[in-house]
């Protein structure tokens, strides 16, 4: 049976979306990944582009409120938000807090923002590979 993993960040627009897409594409044989936000926003188009560059289509994703997962048991909750307050989610058997920079804070030209999102994507995918790849 697949383990259920819920990735959470504030807006569910980039970090948790990229993590969900990567986990399902790379480790979907062993894990079923979901994502949500504490204050859902809109899907970040830079995140969609960055994932497409590595062959993963998240364009059909939407930002979801953490409340949509109330009472759904998860094997693991992964909070990918920076600093501060982590969400309360009593239905997770285990929690990990792994910070990644927020792509919505990036500024500059289109290409500079894209470079930043690529760096964050690579941090997230590298962490997922290191954490879940050997299991």
Q: Please give the Cα distance from 16 to 21 (Å, whole number).
A: 9
Annotation says 75 is catalytic: no
- Indicate which residue of 5, 6, 8, 9 is catalytic: 9
**Would you call 81 a catalytic residue per the annotation?**
yes
Q: Which of 86, 93, 97, 131 is catalytic?
A: 86
DSSP per-residue string spanning 65-131 = BGGGGTT--BSEEEE---SSPPPP-TTBS-EEE-----GGG--SSHHHHHHHHHHHHHHHHHHHHHH
66 is catalytic: no
Q: Which of 43, 56, 74, 81 is catalytic?
A: 81
- The set of catalytic residues is 9, 81, 86
């Amino acid at each position: 049976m697949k383990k259920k993993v819920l990735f959470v960040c504030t807006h569910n627009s980039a970090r948790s979306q990229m993590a969900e897409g990567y986990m399902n594409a790379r480790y979907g044989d062993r894990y079923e990944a979901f994502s949500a936000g504490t204050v859902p926003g809109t899907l970040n188009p830079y995140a969609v582009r960055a994932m497409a560059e590595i062959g993963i289509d998240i364009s059909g994703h939407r930002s979801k409120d953490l409340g949509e997962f109330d009472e759904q048991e998860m094997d693991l909750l992964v909070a990918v938000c920076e600093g501060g307050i982590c969400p309360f989610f009593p239905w997770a058997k285990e929690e990990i807090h792994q910070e990644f920079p927020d792509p919505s804070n990036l500024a500059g030209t289109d290409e500079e923002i894209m470079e930043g999102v690529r760096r964050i994507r690579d941090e997230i995918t590298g962490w997922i590979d290191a954490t879940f790849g050997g299991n």
